[in-house]
Amino acid sequence: MDVLPAPIDPVPDPWPMSGLTLRTPRLELRVEDDASVRELIAAVHESGIHPSSEMPFRVPWTRADPRHLGRGIAQYVWSNRAKASPDWWTLQFVVRAEGRVVGLQDVVGDRFGVRREVATGSYLVRRAQGRGYGTEMRAAVLAFAFDHLGALVARSEYVEGNPRSAAVSARLGYRDDGTATIDHGDARVTEYRVLLTREAFVRPGWRLGVDGFTADLAGFLAADPPVS
């Protein structure tokens, strides 16, 4: 006779990322779900991200056929969900200002339990640019990583010709950490790498609001447990 495993009480949350929300004075950053990804895709189609003459991203994903751009955004999000584990994860925050989706901010941990490092990436739709949102949303995830997850270092990079990302990094206290030559579509360009330590982080003049950081989520991220 087969013996069934003993029931687990309580049942662990199978996807503890889903309730995580960060709040700043002007923005709400909530871990994506399918509904918010659809809102993000609609905002990208409505407003765009950058002029066609520019390419601010390492991977030129915005040059996709407009008919398939939304599908690519959704598949990218879904692929990161599927790969997530304590060894490698991405927190993908859909960002809202005044209730409207304005962009995406992610935080990546690779062997975070050992390395205690994160990397970040983001974009804003064009109608939301030039208002300081890029700095505010990156400051939010840095404060969360340093103060809640237990990160010691944050890394970022930007390609030649992306002064907005460079300016955000400078304002938050990053230092130069080398360069690389990359294949950028049909061109060879320089990628600039920057690094931020917890001690060097130029903290904003506001306190981050955090909801949904649970013990289950901390375990999933191999992070420090929440402080009760």
**CA dist., res. 164 & res. 129, Å (int):** 10
CA distances in angstroms from 73 to 6, 44, 68, 110, listed in the order given: 41, 10, 9, 22
CA-closest candidate to residue 27, choices 119, 108, 94, 117: 94
What is the rounded distance in angstroms from the CA atom of residue 123 to the CA atom of residue 168? 12
> Could you give the percent of the chain with pLDDT greater than 90?
73
Higher pLDDT, 161 or 138: 138
CB atoms within 10 A of CB 143: 19
Res 92 pLDDT > 80: yes
Q: Does domain 18-203 have CATH number 3.40.630.30?
A: yes
Whole-number pLDDT of residue 5: 74
Q: What is the pLDDT of residues 128-160, one digit of tens each?
A: 999 999 999 999 999 999 999 999 999 999 988
* Strand residues in 6-131 grouped as ranges (E): 21-23, 27-31, 88-97, 100-110, 117-124
Full-prediction pTM beyond 0.85? yes
- Cα end-to-end distance, the chain, whole Å: 45
Pairing of strands 21-23, 27-31: antiparallel
**Domain extents for the chain?**
18-203
Q: Is the peptide bond before 60 cis (omega within 30 degrees of 0)?
A: no
β-strand pairing of 88-97 with 100-110:
antiparallel
Q: For the segment 19-76, what is each residue's pLDDT rounded down to a tens digit?
A: 999 999 999 999 999 999 999 999 998 887 776 667 666 666 567 777 888 899 999 9
pLDDT of residue 1: 60
